[in-house]
Chain A
Amino acid sequence: MVITKSLEEFGKYIFFLRKTFSIPDKWTVYGKRTIQEIIKLGVDSIPLVIVISLFIGAVITIQMQLNVTSPLIPAYSVGLATRDIVLLEFSNSMLCLILAGKVGSSIASEIGTMRVTEQIDALDIMGINSANFLVLPKITAFVFFMPVLVIFCIFTSFIGGWGVALFTDMISVSKYIYGLQAFFQEWYVWYGLIKSLVFAFIIASVASFFGYNVKGGALQVGKASTNAVVSSSILILLFDVVLTKLLLQ
């Protein structure tokens, strides 16, 4: 029963994507809407990304320092471990799980409200492909802007760790900075960026799908918003495993 329903939903999702990825009715309108969405979904998320990254970067550094107690392990390994954790997992998977909450619920509730207030019907009546008009700019904007958020996240996390080194005596600043640079693998950055693009697509498309298919009223919009966050979080974790296996092995 659950499998049948999941397959049915997946089928609907594929049809929804097919409807979404068609040629826009008017390119100028599409361009303007995409810029608006970049600001709304991307630029407006920067403060949240900065705050979270700053604190998590600091926490990772403290935890590394507390756990690396052996005299055989060099002190700079705290910086190295912080860097790799941030590059491999925090700046993409964890960040996207957090953004699934903020951006995903915002997209689902916005489109869901448009559905229940008949604004989507109004677009359809006018002969506009409503899925394409509403959803494509959101997906494009979020996928386009996600690497910027990831880069912000990486650097702010490093600053958080640097703050720990600067204001406490847990590790010296020079060793922390040396650790950040030691044994650097460029591929880790690309790996993180590739994952974040996939996750951004999941967040924007899944949230739009749940919002677009709302039936009922305000209560159902709330439910759709919750379902969007839960589903996109699960998909992010699932794809995290798949992409890690594919890209790092």
Chain B
Amino acid sequence: MIEVKNISKSFDGKNILHDINATFYTGKTNLIIGQSGSGKTVLMKSIVGLIRPESGEILYDGRDFLKMTTSQMKSLRKEIGMLFQGSALFDSETVLGNVMFPLRMFSQMGKGEMMDRARFCLERVNLQGAENKYPSEISGGMQKRVAIARAIALNPKYLFCDEPNSGLDPKTSILIDELLHDITHEYNITTIINTHDMNSVLGIGENIVFINKGRRAWVGDKERIFTTSNEALNEFVFATRLFQEVKDYIITSEHNKKQGGTM
């Protein structure tokens, strides 16, 4: 479990995060949602330590990340896997080389063992047969899957995903969402996904934190998101025509149900 307590961050005097509090649960897909520029990427980068917040606490199963020594932080990082928006695969390494990379750096495995583990991870993300290709030779969806395989190679306790669906077609997006959801449950990982994709929210949103203008505006799950009274969240959720129509449909159905019930 990761707990974020009173996190604030500003850049050049402009407050980006205001006193954020949130809890991200183990074995659940935790989503940080919000419009572009709302501060969700800054929040995620603060949690993983790429940005240092000005105040607050970040607790990884009770261990305060911001008060750790360099060696403690280094050992915690081995428990973290991250999937970047652009995949961030190493261009000079093959697919297999990318997945083997964290194993080469941090494990005591022999070469054969490392290859077996990397192949297992690639199989887990349904990516057999692409081992010897370079990242530039595979599609965006495949790159994301390689990045997931690399992120899980060291059996992480915490998995972070920054906009995992950006640039992907809807079908591949669903595959990636399902993969992240399955891996989270299978390995009992604390997964935090940064997204503004409503399909992901409805598909895998088990714990959702909505960030609006740098503040935590709402917490809930996918079942409660359609019925919230939070105005900013409603505006975000029903921004697209599709979801506006879904909302109208739900309201009409409920209205019809009520009318049917009173008759």
| Min CB gap B186→A, angstroms | 22
Which residues of A in the span 122-163 have a Cβ within 8 Å of any Cβ on B?
122, 124-128
Residues of B within 8 A of A5 (CB): none
Residues of A within 8 A of B50 (CB): 121, 124-125
Task: Please determine whether A125 and B105 come into contact, CB atoms closer than 8 angstroms.
Answer: no
Known: A26-B104, A29-B104, A119-B90. A127 touches B73 (CB 8 A): yes
Task: Please determine whether A118 and B85 come into contact, CB atoms closer than 8 angstroms.
Answer: yes
Task: Please determine whether A117 and B105 come into contact, CB atoms closer than 8 angstroms.
Answer: no
Residues of A within 8 A of B102 (CB): 126
Residues of A within 8 A of B109 (CB): none
Task: Please determine whether A119 and B88 come into contact, CB atoms closer than 8 angstroms.
Answer: yes
Is B180 interfacial (CB 8 A cutoff)? Answer: no
| Min CB gap B50→A, angstroms | 6
Q: Which of B29-37, B52-60, B75-83, B253-261 contacts A (4 or more CB under 8 A)?
A: B75-83
Residues of B within 8 A of A117 (CB): 86, 88, 91
Residues of B contacting A: mostly: mixed
Q: How far is the CA of A113 from the CA of B89 in the complex (A)?
A: 12
Task: Please determine whether B88 and A29 come into contact, CB atoms closer than 8 angstroms.
Answer: no
Residues of A within 8 A of B49 (CB): 124-125
| Min CB gap B67→A, angstroms | 17
Q: How far is the CA of A125 from the CA of B151 in the complex (A)?
A: 10
Is A25 interfacial (CB 8 A cutoff)? Answer: yes
Is B22 interfacial (CB 8 A cutoff)? Answer: no
Q: How far is the CA of A113 from the CA of B88 in the complex (A)?
A: 11
| Min CB gap A148→B, angstroms | 24
* Complex partner residue of A128 from B76, B82, B105, B160, CB under 8 angstroms: B105
Residues of A within 8 A of B88 (CB): 117-119, 121-122
Residues of B within 8 A of A124 (CB): 49-50
Residues of A within 8 A of B86 (CB): 117-118
Is B48 interfacial (CB 8 A cutoff)? Answer: yes
| Min CB gap A187→B, angstroms | 42
Residues of A within 8 A of B85 (CB): 118
Residue among B78, B82, B88 having the largest count of chain A Cβ atoms under 10 Å: B88
Q: Interface digits, B182-214 against A, CB 8 Å rule (1 contact, 0 not)? A: 000000000000000000000000000000000
Task: Please determine whether A121 and B84 come into contact, CB atoms closer than 8 angstroms.
Answer: yes
For B, the interface residue count at a CB cutoff of 8 angstroms equals 23
Residues of B within 8 A of A125 (CB): 48-50, 77, 80, 82, 160
Known: A25-B105, A29-B105, A117-B88. A122 touches B77 (CB 8 A): no
Residues of A within 8 A of B73 (CB): 127
The residue in chain B whose Cβ has the minimal distance to the Cβ of A117 is B86
Task: Please determine whether B84 and A126 come into contact, CB atoms closer than 8 angstroms.
Answer: no
Task: Please determine whether B104 and A122 come into contact, CB atoms closer than 8 angstroms.
Answer: no
Is B74 interfacial (CB 8 A cutoff)? Answer: yes
The residue in chain A whose Cβ has the minimal distance to the Cβ of B147 is A122
Known: A127-B73, A127-B74, A127-B77. A122 touches B105 (CB 8 A): no
* Complex partner residue of A118 from B74, B80, B84, CB under 8 angstroms: B84
| Min CB gap B66→A, angstroms | 16
Q: How far is the CA of A114 from the CA of B259 in the complex (A)?
A: 61
Q: How far is the CA of A124 from the CA of B49 in the complex (A)?
A: 9
Q: How far is the CA of A122 from the CA of B82 in the complex (A)?
A: 7
Known: A25-B105, A26-B105. A122 touches B78 (CB 8 A): no
Q: How far is the CA of A26 from the CA of B85 in the complex (A)?
A: 28
Residues of A within 8 A of B75 (CB): 127
Q: How far is the CA of A117 from the CA of B136 in the complex (A)?
A: 13
Q: How far is the CA of A122 from the CA of B76 in the complex (A)?
A: 15
Residues of B within 8 A of A121 (CB): 50, 84, 88
Q: How far is the CA of A124 from the CA of B88 in the complex (A)?
A: 12
| Min CB gap B216→A, angstroms | 24
Known: A117-B88, A127-B74. 4 other contacts (CB 8 A): A119-B89, A121-B88, A122-B88, A127-B106
Can you give 12 A-B contacts (C-beta < 8 A)?
Answer: A117-B88, A117-B91, A118-B86, A119-B89, A121-B88, A122-B82, A122-B88, A125-B77, A125-B82, A125-B160, A126-B78, A127-B77
Listed from nearest, the 4 A-B pairs whose CB atoms lie closest are: A127-B77, A118-B88, A122-B88, A118-B84
